[in-house]
């Protein structure tokens, strides 16, 4: 039958790539509910019960398009990177990287940060898999490597993924149509070039790409007895990275019906990619801005190109929904928080409090870090915190830089949920806290200093 292109035994394979990575997201529904209840309590003096119920139940509707785009933000990025084509690229990178302990830790962190600045999935997924592949090579050579630090290097993408080309906050604000930018009427729009080339953002991004991996190298144990190598139980690679990402197994060609031939037609993919690429090229060549909707469209084209047959792309987008689980349902509650605070006119009060500190950008960074522990999705966090920064009447570009950094650093603390760090054999949670604490301290000092200077 058309569409039945995977064998049952493949779908049920317990150690396959998708089920293994299915745990790589934080369970955020509980914290979202806590945040929504807190918003209800805070707005009691300002709203009657009927209005609260209305805002809680219908506040989602004005932000529906934002949620859909943020879901695509997570799904499509993973759909592009989790492909044999990108797997081959990552394998080729691994082949030229060193396999000493210091070399593996540094290069994993460097690649993760650099690629994360380009795209969250490229940095986070790429960093984790490059680190594992390098550790496998080191193990084969008899070189001991402390895997917890290598994994931390792969997770460093979380620090910069909100500051680069795929920053959800930046992409939301860059849209002047109102489709993604829910604050376009109050705050206008911010071009991605303004955000990317803001002095505090540009300088800090360069500093972190070069120096953050050095911090991890400094933390690496010297004594072989203290080194915890990659355990077989933690390996998620099945052969090469490309082989691990090769998820699609169609039915034998002799069993294809007309629908199967269409679903597996590379010609259809190439025609679609050609038309999409022409549209994207024309848009940007004619001065079009990089926004969240246009990035999503571009990722669809890249995903089709990377996956090959249309059905392979469809299957991968279905698999990649695991990355959006941390905000698909919780966003309904985030939207309720936004609606309640807006209806109660509390954003003005919050903004005044932030501005009243005398260091509004430093304050917004701290608020973003704390809020990010409850809201793992940086785009959703900007939905909640952004209106307060508008109400504070401070420079919105600098505010966006500070909030995105706070969200990224808090995501690093949630990384043990993203990557199940605490399930790794021999990796004590106190070790993770120490690494995360050192990285957080270093990032905070640099970011706060640059926010004050610039």
Instruction: Answer whether residue 2 shows pLDDT above 60.
Output: no
- The answer to whether residues 93 and 129 touch, using CB atoms and an 8 Å cutoff, is no
Q: What is the mean pLDDT of residues 290-300?
A: 96
- Could you tell me if residue 422 is inside a domain? yes
Structural tokens at position 136: 């496998």
| Residue 315 is assigned to a structural domain of this protein | no
Q: Please give the pLDDT value at position 171.
A: 98
**pTM for this predicted structure:** 0.91
Q: Is residue 12 part of a domain?
A: no
Provide the pLDDT for residue 424: 56
Average pLDDT over residues 381-386: 97
Distances (CA, A) of 208 to 28, 144, 284: 28, 26, 29
* Model confidence at 137: pLDDT above 60: yes
Rounded to an integer, the average pLDDT of 223-243 is 84
- For residue 9, pLDDT over 70 is answered with no
Kindly state whether residue 333 falls inside one of the protein's structural domains: yes
Per-residue model confidence (pLDDT) at position 11: 45
Count how many domains the chain has. Answer: 1
Specify the pLDDT at position 255.
85
Is the pLDDT confidence value at 236 over 70?
yes
Lowest mean pLDDT among 44-48, 69-73, 263-267: 263-267
pLDDT of residue 250: 86
Q: Residue 123 has what pLDDT? A: 96
Domain boundaries, position 224: 20-243+325-453
pLDDT in tens, 297-347: 999 999 999 999 999 999 999 989 888 888 888 999 999 999 999 999 999
Q: Do the beta carbons of residue 247 and residue 17 sit within 8 Å?
A: yes
- The answer to whether residue 422 scores a pLDDT higher than 90 is no
- Polymer length of the chain: 454
| Domain-located, residue 313 | no
Residue 442 lies in a domain: yes
Structure confidence at residue 378 (pLDDT)? 96
Residue 426's pLDDT is what?
52
* Predicted pLDDT at 417: 58
- Residue 244 near residue 17, CB atoms below 8 Å: yes
What are the structure tokens assigned to 281, written together? 């090229």
> Distance (Å, rounded) from C-alpha 420 to C-alpha 257?
42
Q: Which residues are within 8 A (CB) of 301 and not within 5 positions of it... i.e. 6 or more apart?
A: 272, 273, 276, 277, 280
Whether 5 has a pLDDT exceeding 90, the answer reads no
Provide the pLDDT confidence category of residue 24 given band limits of 50, 70 and 90. very low
Q: Per-residue pLDDT for 29 more than 90?
A: no
Mean per-residue pLDDT of the chain: 90
* Across 14-40, average pLDDT: 68
In this predicted structure, the answer to whether residue 219 has a pLDDT above a threshold of 90 is: yes
How far apart (Å, rounded) are the C-alpha atoms in residues 132 and 206? Answer: 25
What does the pLDDT average to over 398-419?
88
pLDDT for 27: 64
Contact 336, 59 (CB under 8 A): yes
Read off the pLDDT of residues 427-452 as tens digits, 9 standing for 90 and up. Answer: 677 888 899 999 999 999 999 999 99
Under the banding of pLDDT at 50, 70 and 90, the label for residue 7 is very low
Q: For 354-382, how does the pLDDT look when each residue is reduced to its tens digit (9 = 90+)? A: 999 999 999 999 999 999 999 999 999 99
Mean pLDDT value of segment 207-215: 98
Residue 208 has pLDDT above 70, yes or no: yes
SS3 329: coil
pLDDT of residue 312: 94
pLDDT band at 251 (very low <50, low <70, confident <90, very high): confident
221 occurs within a structural domain: yes
Place of tokens 């060609």: 253
In a domain, 3, yes or no: no
pLDDT of residue 321: 87
Higher pLDDT, 422 or 36: 36
Q: Is the pLDDT of residue 66 over 80?
A: yes
Q: Is 70 exceeded by the pLDDT of residue 54?
A: yes
């Amino acid at each position: 039958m058309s569409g039945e292109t995977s064998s049952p035994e493949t779908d049920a394979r317990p150690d396959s790539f998708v089920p293994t990575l299915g745990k790589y997201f934080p369970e955020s529904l509980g914290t979202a509910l806590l945040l929504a209840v807190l918003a209800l309590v805070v707005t009691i003096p300002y709203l009657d019960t009927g209005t609260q119920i209305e805002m809680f139940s219908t506040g989602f509707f004005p932000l529906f398009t934002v949620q859909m785009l943020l879901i695509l933000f997570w799904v499509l990025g993973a759909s592009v990177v989790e492909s044999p084509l990108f797997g081959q690229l990552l394998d080729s990178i691994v082949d030229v990287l060193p396999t000493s302990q210091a070399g593996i830790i540094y290069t994993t962190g460097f690649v993760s940060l650099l690629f994360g600045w380009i795209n969250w999935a490229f940095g986070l997924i790429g960093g984790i898999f490059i680190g594992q592949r390098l550790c496998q090579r080191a193990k084969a050579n008899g070189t001991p490597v402390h895997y917890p630090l290598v994994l931390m290097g792969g997770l460093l993408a979380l620090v910069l993924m909100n500051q680069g080309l795929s920053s959800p906050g930046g992409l939301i604000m860059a849209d002047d149509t109102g489709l993604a930018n829910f604050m376009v009427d109050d705050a206008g729009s911010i071009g991605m070039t303004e955000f990317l080339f803001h002095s505090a953002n540009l300088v800090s991004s360069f500093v972190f790409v070069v120096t953050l991996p050095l911090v991890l190298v400094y933390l690496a144990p010297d004594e072989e007895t203290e080194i915890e190598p990659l355990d077989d139980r933690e390996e998620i690679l099945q052969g090469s990275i490309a082989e691990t990402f090769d998820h699609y197994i169609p039915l034998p060609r002799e069993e294809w019906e007309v629908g199967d031939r269409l679903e597996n037609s590379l010609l259809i993919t190439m025609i679609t990619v050609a038309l999409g690429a022409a549209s994207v090229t024309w848009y940007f060549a004619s001065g079009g801005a990089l926004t969240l909707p246009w990035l999503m469209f571009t990722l669809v084209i890249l995903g089709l190109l990377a996956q090959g047959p249309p059905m392979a792309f469809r299957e991968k987008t279905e698999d990649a929904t695991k990355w959006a689980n941390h905000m698909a349902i919780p966003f309904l509650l985030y939207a309720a928080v936004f609606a309640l605070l807006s209806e109660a006119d509390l954003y003005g009060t919050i903004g005044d409090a932030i501005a009243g500190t005398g260091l509004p950008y430093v304050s917004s960074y701290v608020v973003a870090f704390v809020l990010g522990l409850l809201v793992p999705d940086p785009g959703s966090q900007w939905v909640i915190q952004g209106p307060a920064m508008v109400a504070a009447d401070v420079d919105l570009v600098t505010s966006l830089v500070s909030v995105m950094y706070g969200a990224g650093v808090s995501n690093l603390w949630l990384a043990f949920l993203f990557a199940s760090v605490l399930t790794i054999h021999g990796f004590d949670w106190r070790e993770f806290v120490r690494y995360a604490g050192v990285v957080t301290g270093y990032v905070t000092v640099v970011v706060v200093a640059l926010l004050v200077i610039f």
